[in-house]
Structures are given as structure tokens and as C-alpha cells.
Structure 1
Amino acid sequence: MYDDIFNWLKEHGITEVECILPDITGVARGKIIPKDKFISEPDMRLPEAVLLQTVTGEYPQSSLLDETDADMELKPDPSTLRFVPWAQDPTASLIFDCFSPDGLPVETAPRNVLRRILNLYENMELKPIVAPEMEFYLISPNPDPDVPLQPPIGRTGRSEFGRRSYAVDAVNEFDPLFEEIYDYCHDQNLEVDTLIHEIGAAQMEINFLHGHAMDLADQVFLFKRTVRESAFHHKMYATFMAKPMEGEPGSAMHIHQSLVEVETGNNAFSNNDGSPSELFFHFIGGLQKYLPQTMPFFAPYVNSFRRLTRFTAAPTNVEWGYDNRTVGLRVPRASAKGRRIENRLAGVDVNPYLAIACSLACGYLGIKEKLQPRAPLSSNAYSLPYQFPTTLEESIERLRQCEPIHDILGQRFVEMYIAVKEQEVSEYFRVISPWERKYLLLHV
């Protein structure tokens, strides 16, 4: 079964294999195994609790966790075999899938959650196509977390200031870094496309070519590691926090999505005459109904909600419109073949597997329920009322009550995800911030 993997490792002189799987926060977990050891034992075992750590490395207090801490059976996905271009010795990476001892998919594994949704579309003879856009900040090294972040020094010897949106020279400040990022992406078959400078100081955006949803989720997962590693090499940090700096815009992962008919290869969002299909409108209707109820997948941390204000170029509602960047659901100007919906809600801090899975799940429910969207908006959507929960706690409670999403993503998975988020909120509220010490210590 794994002969092609073994032959590739030998052909390229690989000495070590990074055996990885994304946990519920999107962090790479796993083992680094010598090549010969991997060839003799390609499968791997890890406890399910590995998947269910909070972003701080703690575990949720949940009765759903197996008290025996039993092992999962992990099997490599041959399609994910790639070089690790920044490693000193010839190293490969492989993403693993998680199974129970009786061979069933582990329902809390993020790749299995996404695969569950893709199977639903496959049963409808449809294939989701996605294209993420990744925004992130370059920052100066910040070893002390109590010190505010600052933009890094560019080739001019100065830190960036002011607004440099779409400025080519501002990107050129960091040419050696971006040349290396593109080289690293090429070595890993990460199909990145356009690079632009975003609104914030040293805020960048890299877009991916459209493709199969699972493959793109894998690429985003690896891309975050790639950018961080390259930034370290150039003596700076790259951060995918949703709102890392005061006074600067947040960072998003916009998800362009469409559906292709498996039999014909046609875009299911368009009729034969080029007009929008009923399925297109149902998909938007599903997003409008269910996105506000599933916010923890698109804004997973306390910091995520700092981004979602009308003052940071982020969506504040689930209105939709044609080529309108003020709405949460934008339909870009495109041909009938390229008709797609851009979900602008997700922060770049999301787990890509879960954000893509949930976005597609909302659209799927819209199709099944034959939901109709509100009329498209051609005006400024920021003038409308805020339509999302305003805190992580409120968003968790709304997710807890959204039974259709529990059914489609998996009841145990959603309950475990909620338990992880509640644990993170609990940990956050034990921390006293500099703002509190500055303004409350001696004034109240």
C-alpha cells in the first residue's frame, strides 16, 4: 500500500519523516521518525487527547474524553507526501488520518470532519472547490509577550508606518523573505498565487489557486508553518493572529467557494444560460442562516472578536452582494464558469479544515432546506446592525443550541470543540491584562 511512499523516500535520500496531524486548533502534532524506522512501521499510534488540546496545551474537562486515554490508529495519506525545505537534513512530511482500533474514522480529527462534509456533497454528485486568501503580519521578534508588537525593519533600515495598501515597494522591502517563501511553497507543491500588501503595517496577503477542498486545507495548514519558518530564518516573526496590533486592521482567511457537478464538470452555481442557479441562492441562504450560529469555527479565540468591527475592514453581517467588499458574503465579478461566493467572515487564526468544513456545511444545509437569501446589497453594509455574537462566550452558546450543525459536523465533535473553547475562555479570564493594571490599579 505504501510502496510509492517508500520508493520516494529512498529516491530523494530522505533521512527523517515528520509524521503530523492537525489538532483541533490547527497545530501540527505528531512524531519525527527516522526513515528506516518509518519504512518498517509506517502506521503510528497516538491518544485521541492529542487532538483535543487547547491553544495553551491544556485539556478540556469533559466526560466525552476516554478515561483510559486509548490510542488511535494513524495512517499516512500518500497524497500529502512533501519535502520539508527548511530542514537541515533531507526531511519529508506526511499528514496522517485518525482511526479507531475497529477502523472507523475518529470523529474529532479535523480532516475527518471536513471529509464528512465532502462525502455529503459527493452523495449529491457535487464537488466543492475552494480558494483561500491568507492575510498575515510580519513583525519584529517579540520574545516578551508583555511588549506590544512592532513592524520589522525592511531593506531601507526603517520600520513601516502609515498605510501602504497594494504598494509594490512596500512588499519589496522584504524581497529576500518572499523569494524564500515562494521557493519553499514550490518545493512543497503549495499552489500560491498573488502576493499583495494589505492595509496594515507590514500586513501581507497571499492567495491560493482554487482546487479540491481537502487539498487546499492541507496546503493552508502547511503554509502557516512555511511562512513562520521562513520568517525565523530572516530574523522576524510572522503571525496569523486575527488582531495582533492595536490600531491596525485584523487578518482574515477569506474562503472563495463554488460547487462543480461531478458528471459534467460544470459550475453548479450557474445555469446553462449563464444565470445564477437556484442552488447558488440556496447556498447563500444557508450561509446567512447558519454562519452567525457557528462563529466559534470562524472566530475561535477571544482575540478573534477584536477583528470583527466595521473599523477594521472586517464583516459585521451576513448580507451578500455582487462585488461588494462591505458585506460578509461577496460574489466577485466573474464569468458563469467562475461564479463563486467569498465568505469573508473567517479570521486567519482558524483551523482551515474546520472553517472550510463549516462554511460548506452551512451552504449544504441551505441547499437541503431550500433557503432563499435576502436581496443582494449594493450599498455600504457597515451602516447596518451588527449580526454576529459579540463575545466568544455568546458564540459558544449559540453553537451549543444549533442542532442542525451538530448533526452534520458530528455531535461528539461539536461537543468536544465547545469543551476546548470553554477551557480556553476559562484560562483567558485568569489573566490580568496590562490595561487593567494601568487604569484600575490606583484609580478605582
Structure 2
Amino acid sequence: MKGNLDRLSHWLKENKITEVECLISDLSGIARGKISPTNKFLNEQGMRLPESVLLQTVTGDYVDDDIYYELLDAADIDMHCRPDQDAVFIVPWASEPTAQVIHDTYDKQGNAIELSPRNLLKKVLSLYTARGWKPIVAPEMEFYLTQRSPDPDYPLKPPVGRSGRQETGRQSYSIEATNEFDPLFEDMYDWSEAQGLDLDTLIHEEGTAQMEINFRHGAALSLADQIIIFKRTMREAALKHDVSATFMAKPMTGEPGSAMHVHQSVVDLETGESVFSNPDGSMSELFMHHIGGLQKYIPETLPLFAPNVNSFRRFLPDTSAPVNVEWGEENRTVGLRVPDSDPQNRRVENRLAGADANPYLALAASLLCGYAGMVEGVEPSAAVVGRGYERRNLRLPLTLEAALECMEQSDMAKKYLGERFTKGFVAVKRVEHENYKQVISSWEREFLLFSV
């Protein structure tokens, strides 16, 4: 399993790295792994982790024994995790020279672990490669800045900016409201540049102290890696300035949710020309079928875009998130927006994923749905003109329970994601949902305690 790490070894020595954070992503997008001295890291050329890490929930629990032993070895054996030399990042906030290296996971025979989110994205990308296509993506990440809160029972509050005051009201695209946190964002940009993250614009979103960072378009695997690293970076920059950054889909009552919008296009591997446009500049059949696939299969894979109970609070009535898979040109009231662009840059923006989604899984699912539409020739519905929020023909499951049931029954998910991955992911999310149902909410205490 050992490979040639000369390039990585040279980089670590050149940057005088003394410690390496060895990372993999679990199903929820949580970075798990080990911290190793550089010499030990190079000697071992990776790490071992229990394969059960990939069936761990956000609460630290595991799936039921019957599913656990169906999907994993009863001896709780190790995975072999090998570093990707193209996924190496400095840790600019560390006190000692430290690197973080994203790893791929294999079994003892060298086979890619099916439950790994990063492996799943690579599997989807290989489908495109086999057809002579290459997907291009550009993610947009929304998040909130909040006051630090040690007690999860208390609602989150907007932070205090440079002016000494909290933000009030909606401040969409406000430069002054963004400048309230200039010192924080200067650190964020400096640290992101040091890590080679392809950040583009920063804007103030609709919610109170809600921001959005856009990534430049590029390869899906690299950008999924970058989102994992950016989330860590943003949280660290916030903590340095005594505030918090959260990527929860709906962290504050009465405020808009946070999304991960994904712009996606497909080019020919040999020529680099967009397969979404005809020679005369019009929309190609492949483009229409890509949209058709997104419309047909997003409802069956929705938990990969909305993986938590909180994710579905974005989809409640009277929110700014579209709860449909309608499509339209220059239309933000539908789930699938086609921005105005020249033929080479023709793309569709999937507006349904939450900021809380695992980036590997959200990108894999979005590209897979479009791919399936392209190879199956799925025709889309008619484009929506005007307001699309109320369109009910192509609505989505409105609860996590309903969405998990749809995914569990999906032949497409089993075919492309694999039965093992589908069963494992659904099982993890069901355990999390059962844990959620055990918690008594403040709403219940407020309205039922002395009333019923």
C-alpha cells in the first residue's frame, strides 16, 4: 500500500512542518483522524483508523448491531488511510508549524472503502471520465456569525461588531455591515491564501450577520477538500475574534437558512468545450437531460443535500429557500437556477443543498443526478417563468424521515451509490434522528408545561 511521497516529503521539510494532522471525512463531514509527528507520518506513510469511524453519528453513537455487523467486520478492523499529495494544507493558526493532510481510505487488499464520502465522489467523477466528460463546479457557502454561547438551551444572538453594536434588520449585500467584522475576515482571507483556497467574493447575505463566501470554479474533488478546510478555517478565525461561525442550515429562529449553492457544468475532456451548448450557442440536449436528471433524482437523494433534522427547517413555508426541483433561467425562486451566461459557461445552479451538508456527498449527489439524466435521456419539465415558490408539482420530501425512506427505496441510489453506502448512510441518519426525538425542546416546555 505504500507509495512514493517524495513530493509531500519535500513540501513538509521546505515548510519546516513538525506535526501533521491526518484527516478523513466521516458521513457527516466531521474531520476525524490522528495528529502525528512529521517523521512518524513519513515513515508510516499514512495511518490506520477503525472502519467503524465511518458509521459514527454526530452524537458519537453507532448504528444498530444488526446493520453494523452486516456492513463492517465483526472484529472492528482498521482501514488503511493514505495521504493524497494534492490535498495538503498548512495550518496557519497553529502555534507550531503544522500541516493538515486529507487521506483516502482502503481495506487491507487495497480496495477503496465504499462508505468513504471522498471515495464516493471519486466514484461519481469516474463515471464522467468514462464518458469523456469533466464536471466543473463552483460552490457558494453561506454561514452565520454569532455570539459565543456555552449553553445550547439558549438561542443564538448576533455578535457585536467594530461599532460596539449588534446588527439589526436585514442587510443584504451591505458593505458597511460586512466591514463590521473586517479584522476577522482579514484573518480568514490571509489564512485561506496561505492554504491555497480558491476563494472569490465575500458578501453579506439576507440574515442578521449571515455571510456568503464564493469559490472559484474548478475540479469537484479539489473544491470539496477546500470546503472541508474552509469550514475549519472560518471557525478558527471566528474564535480568534471571540465570536462563533456556524454552518448549521437554520441556526436562528426567524432568520433565513444557510445553503451551499452548487454551480455545475460539464466540458468535453479532450476539447474543453462545454457539452451544455450547441455550436450555435443554444442549450444542448445533454444540458436539458442534465436538468431532467436533477429533477428526477434529487428527491431520491435529498438526505445527501439535507442530512439533518435542522436541514429541513430551511424548507419551511415562507422561507427564502425553494422547496421544489423546478428550473428556470435567472430565477432564484426555483431549486435549479440557470444563470445568464455565454455558451461556454452555461451551467445550472443547484440551490437545494444546505451549508451543513457533507461537501463530498452533496457534490457527488448533485453531479450524479445530472449524470443519470444525461445517460438516461431524462426530459425536464417546462421552465418556470416568474415566481416559483408555490409550485407544487415537483416538491421535495418535507421531513428527514420521509427523505430517508425515499433514499432507502431508490433503485438509482443503490445502483450508483452502492447498496452498502446507501444502507450505511440511511442507518446513521436514522440513529441521529432517534437521538433527536429523545430531547425535550424549549417549545414544549414553554407551551405545554402548565397548559395541558
TM-score by length of 1: 0.99
Aligned partners of 1:436, 1:138: CA distance in 2, in Å?
27
Matched, 1:420 2:428: yes
Check the 8 A contact 1:310/1:382 in 2, yes or no. Answer: no
Deviation, structure 1 residue 45: 0.8
> In 2, Cα distance between the equivalents of 1:232 and 1:150?
15
Equivalent in the alignment of 2:370 = 363
Give CA deviations for 1:292-322 in whole Å, capped at 9, x if unaligned: 1111111111111111134221011111000
Aligned position for 2:380: 373
Conserved? CA contact 2:22–2:46, under 8 Å: no
User: Residue type matched to 2:384 in 1?
Assistant: L
Alignment partner, residue 418 of structure 2: 410
Matched, 1:18 2:21: yes
Aligned equivalent of 1:37: 40
Q: CA deviation at 1:66?
A: 2.2
Structure 1 SS opposite 2:344? coil
Partner of 1:324: 331
Q: Please, which of 79, 87, 100 is the counterpart of residue 86 of structure 2?
A: 79
C-alpha contact (below 8 Å) 1:197/1:205 kept by paired residues: yes
Q: Which amino acid aligns with 1:130?
A: V
Q: 2:402 maps to what in 1?
A: 394
What is residue 204 of structure 1 aligned with on the other side?
211
Task: Report the secondary structure of 1:31's partner residue.
Answer: strand
| Structure 2: distance between partners of 1:133 and 1:52 | 28
Which residue in 2 is equivalent to 1:441? 449
Task: Give the root-mean-square deviation of aligned CA atoms.
Answer: 0.8
CA contact (8 A) 1:255 1:356 kept: yes
Aligned equivalents of 1:65, 1:76: Cα separation in 2:
23
Q: Is the 8 A contact 1:309 1:315 kept in 2?
A: no
- In 2, Cα distance between equivalents of 1:121 and 1:370: 15
Alignment-derived partner of residue 60 in structure 1: 63
* Aligned counterparts of 1:292 and 1:110: Cα–Cα separation in 2: 20
Aligned residue in 2 for 1:234: 241
Matches of 2:390 and 2:36, distance apart in 1:
55
Asked whether the 8 Å contact 1:295–1:399 carries over to 2, the reply is yes
Per-residue deviation at 1:40?
1.5
Listed as ranges, the matches of 1:10-409 within 5 Å are: 10-61=13-64, 62=67, 63-385=70-392, 387-409=395-417
For residues 409 and 11 of structure 2, the distance between their equivalents in structure 1, rounded to whole angstroms, comes to 48
CA distance in 2: counterparts of 1:84 and 1:109, whole angstroms: 24
In the other structure, the counterpart of 1:8 is 11
After alignment, is 35-44 or 264-273 more displaced?
35-44
Shift in Å at residue 57 of structure 1?
1.1
SS of the residue 2:86 aligns to:
helix
Q: 2:309 aligns to what SS in structure 1?
A: coil
What CA distance in whole angstroms lies between the structure 2 residues aligned with 1:356 and 1:307? 19
**In structure 2, distance between residues paired with 1:9 and 1:49:** 30
- Give the percent of matched residue pairs that are identical in Structure 1 and Structure 2: 57
The amino acid across from 1:237 in the alignment is S
The range that moved more, 45-54 or 151-160, is 45-54
Q: Distance in 2 between matches of 1:160 and 1:51?
A: 40
| Number of positions where the alignment pairs a residue of Structure 1 with one of Structure 2 | 444
Quick one: which amino acid aligns to residue 48 of structure 1?
Answer: E
Segments of structure 1 that go 5 or more residues without pairing to the other structure are none
**Pairwise CA distance, 1:65:** 2.9
Asked if the contact 1:286/1:362 (under 8 Å) is kept, the reply is yes
What residue identity is the alignment partner of 1:109?
Answer: S
* Distance across 2 between alignment mates of 1:260 and 1:21: 29
Supply the distance in 2 between the matched residues of 1:64 and 1:5 (Cα, whole angstroms).
34
Moved >6 Å (runs of 4+): none
| Structure 1 CA distance for aligned equivalents of residues 316 and 263 of structure 2 | 21
1:268 CA displacement: 1.0
Distance 2:6 2:218 in 1: 27
Partner SS, residue 77 of structure 1: strand
Please list the CA deviations of residues 325-373 of structure 1 after superposition, one character each: whole Å capped at 9, or x if unmatched: 0000000010001100000000000000000001111111101210110
Deviation per CA, 1:272-306, whole angstroms, max 9, x where unpaired? Answer: 11111110000000000111111111111111111
Deviation string, structure 1 residues 12-39 (Cα, Å, up to 9, x no partner): 1111001101111000000010111112
- Secondary structure in 1 matching 2:34: strand
Q: Deviations over 1:187-214 (max 9, x none)?
A: 1111000100000000000000000010
**Which residue type is aligned with residue 398 of structure 1?**
C
CA distance in 2 between partners of 1:269 and 1:311 (Å): 33
1:421 and 1:318 map into 2 onto residues whose CA distance is 23
- Could you tell me how far apart the structure 1 residues matched to 2:390 and 2:61 are? 41
8 Å contact kept, 2:303–2:404: yes
CA distance in 2, matches of 1:281, 1:143: 49
Gapped regions of structure 2 (runs ≥ 5): none
- Deviation string, structure 1 residues 147-180 (Cα, Å, up to 9, x no partner): 1000000001011110100000000000000111
Question: What TM-score do the two structures reach when normalised by structure 2?
Answer: 0.97
| CA-CA distance at 1:403 after TM superposition | 0.9
